[in-house]
Structure 1
Amino acid sequence: MPYPMDLLSSRAVIRPGKFAIVPPEGLVNNVIPRFKNCKISILVSPKIGASFVEYLVNVEPEGENLQGFGGEGIETFVFCLSGQIKVKSYTESEFITLDGGGYFYCPPSDYMCFKNDSGEVAKLLLYKQRHDHLPGYEPKAVVGNVNQIESCDYDGMESVQLKDLLPSHLDFDMNMHILTFSSPGCHPFVETHVQEHGAYILSGEGLYNLDNEWFPVKKGDFIWFGPFVPQAVYSVGREPLSYIYSKDCNRDAKI
C-alpha cells in the first residue's frame, strides 16, 4: 500500500442507528472462516444497528466457500457484479453459473456454496439475515439475472425504473430490487418507513437526502438506511443513477 499523496480525508458518513455512507476508498479486508482466496469487506452489520450483514467480495481465481454460508435459519443472497462464479445450495449436487447481473437466493434451511474456476477475479455482493419464519410458508431457492428482468415504472414515474429480483409472496420476508433514475430524476417524495435498506450504487451520481441532510454519492458507494430515516435522491450525473438494494417485507412489526 503506497504512502498517501495528500492529507487524509474521507467521504464516509457514519450515524449509528440511523444511516451510513460507506465509500470504497476506506474499505479494508477481513479474514472470515470458510472463505478461501477471497478479499472480503464487511459493508454493514448489527454493530451499527442493522438487522443484516452485507459484504463486498473479490473472489480470486480458485477462490471458494464450499463448506457453506448461512443456513440454520439464516437466508443468504449473492449478486455477481462482474466476472463469473458457480453457486449452489450445500444439499444440491449441481453448480449454477452466474455472470455479471446474475444472482442466487439460498433459503434459510440450506447453506450457500460457491467457487471461482473461471481464471479471473469475480466481484460479488453477499448478504445474510435471519429469516422471520411464517408458519405455512417456506421460501425456495431462486436463480436469475437482472438483464433478463423487465423493469416497470416506479410509482408511475417513467424517469424511475424498478426491477424486483425475488418473488413478492409471503414465503419471502425480504426482497432485492434495482432502482434506476434517469438524469435528471428523483423520488416522488421523501420516504419515511419502517423498512431497512442496504444499497450498493451500480452506476451514476446523486444527491441523497438522509435524515434531512443532503450528501453526494456515486458508483461504488454503499448506503445503509435505518428504520424510519427520511430518504430521497436526485440523480445528478451524466449517466443514470442505479443501485441494488435490500428490503425487509411481508411481515408485521413485532412488539
Structure 2
Amino acid sequence: MGYLNHQQGYREGLLETRSIVKNGAFAVLTPDGLVNNVVPGFDDCDMSILGSPRMGARFVDYLVTVKNQGGNTQGFGGNGVQTFMYVVYGNVTATVDGQSYELAEGGYVYVPPHLELTFVNNNNGEDSRLFLYKKRYQEAEGVGKPEIVTGNVNDIQQKAYEGMDEVLVQDLLPADIAYDMNFHILSFKPGASHGYIETHVQEHGAYVLSGRGMYNLDNNWMPVDKGDYIFMGAYALQATYAVGLDESFSYIYSKDANRDIEI
C-alpha cells in the first residue's frame, strides 16, 4: 500500500515507478511508493523518512502527516542537532524554549541545536502535512550561535535568481555565518531553467511544492512532479527546466553552507 494514495491490492497494470535511488549521488522518491515509518515521540502521525545518511546524506528529511491532535510532545532535535519544520498545508502549534508559534500553510520554524522542537496539530480536526529536517550542527570558531527563526513564505519577497526574472528565490534563514545551512524556495515559471548545470560540494534535500520539471541529476534527465522528493548529493550534476502550462515549478530545499570541509 502506498500510504499517501491509500491504494491497496493489485494494480491493473504492471508495477512501475518514476522513483530512482543512486546512493550517495541522487534520488527521486515519488509519493506512490512511500511507506509509513513508526518513529518514537511522534503520536498520531504518518511519516516517511526521505533523505538520510543511509542514502548518503548528512541530514534527515521527513514527510509527516499529522492527524487529529497528534504531534510530538517528547521533543525533536537538541543535543547538537538543529531542526527545521515547514507546513505544506494545515495548521500546527510549534513550541520552542517555552514560546509557542502558530504556523499555517507556508509557515516555518528553525530551531538551533541546543533546543528541542515540539508541536501539535491545530487544524480543526483536519490533517496537517509537514516537511521536517534535522542535521547535526557543525561548530566553527568565532561565528556566534544560531537563533530561533520563524516566519511564513507568503511574507518573504521573491527575488530574481542569478539575474533571471522567470526564476525566483526566497531565503528562509538569515545570511549569517552562524548558520551552517539554509533553506530556500526556488520557483521556475513554465519554460524557465537554471542558467547552467551546477556542480558543487553542497547537498540538497528538496520537496516539490507545485508544478512539474525535468531535472538533470548526475546527467540523468528525470521527470519530477508535485509531491516528489529529490536528494542531490555532493558534486552531483544538477539543473532543471520547468515544464507545464501555467503553474510554476517550485520546491523547498536545504543547503549546507558557511563551513569548510572537515578532514
**Range class of TM-score, shorter chain:** over 0.9
Whether 2:63 is the aligned partner of 1:17: answer no
- Matches of 1:5 and 1:79, distance apart in 2: 36
Secondary structure of residue in 1 paired with 2:32: helix
CA RMSD across the alignment: 0.9
Give the CA deviation at 1:237.
1.2
Deviations 1:84-137 (A, max 9, x none): 000011x31x32110000000011001100001332100000000000012341
Aligned residues: 253
Give the CA deviation at 1:181.
0.4
Deviations 1:142-190 (A, max 9, x none): 0100000001110011010000000011110000000000111000000
Matching residue within 98, 108, 111 for 2:116: 111
Normalised to the residue count of structure 2, the TM-score between the two structures is 0.94
Secondary structure of residue in 2 paired with 1:115: strand
Partner in structure 1 of residue 3 of structure 2 = none
- Matches of 2:214 and 2:104, distance apart in 1: 30
Partner in structure 1 of residue 5 of structure 2 = none
- Matches of 1:237 and 1:200, distance apart in 2: 18
- Matches of 1:117 and 1:251, distance apart in 2: 37
- Specify the code of the residue in structure 2 equivalent to 1:110: L
- Matches of 2:197 and 2:47, distance apart in 1: 33
Whether 2:102 is the aligned partner of 1:97: answer yes
- Matches of 2:18 and 2:186, distance apart in 1: 23
Give the CA deviation at 1:64.
1.5
Partner in structure 1 of residue 130 of structure 2 = 124
Divergent runs of 4+, >3 A = none
Partner in structure 2 of residue 156 of structure 1 = 163
Normalised to the residue count of structure 1, the TM-score between the two structures is 0.97
Give the CA deviation at 1:2.
3.3
Matching residue within 230, 238, 241 for 2:249: 241
Partner in structure 2 of residue 254 of structure 1 = 262
Structure 1 residue runs of 5 or longer lacking an equivalent are: none
Give the CA deviation at 1:3.
2.7
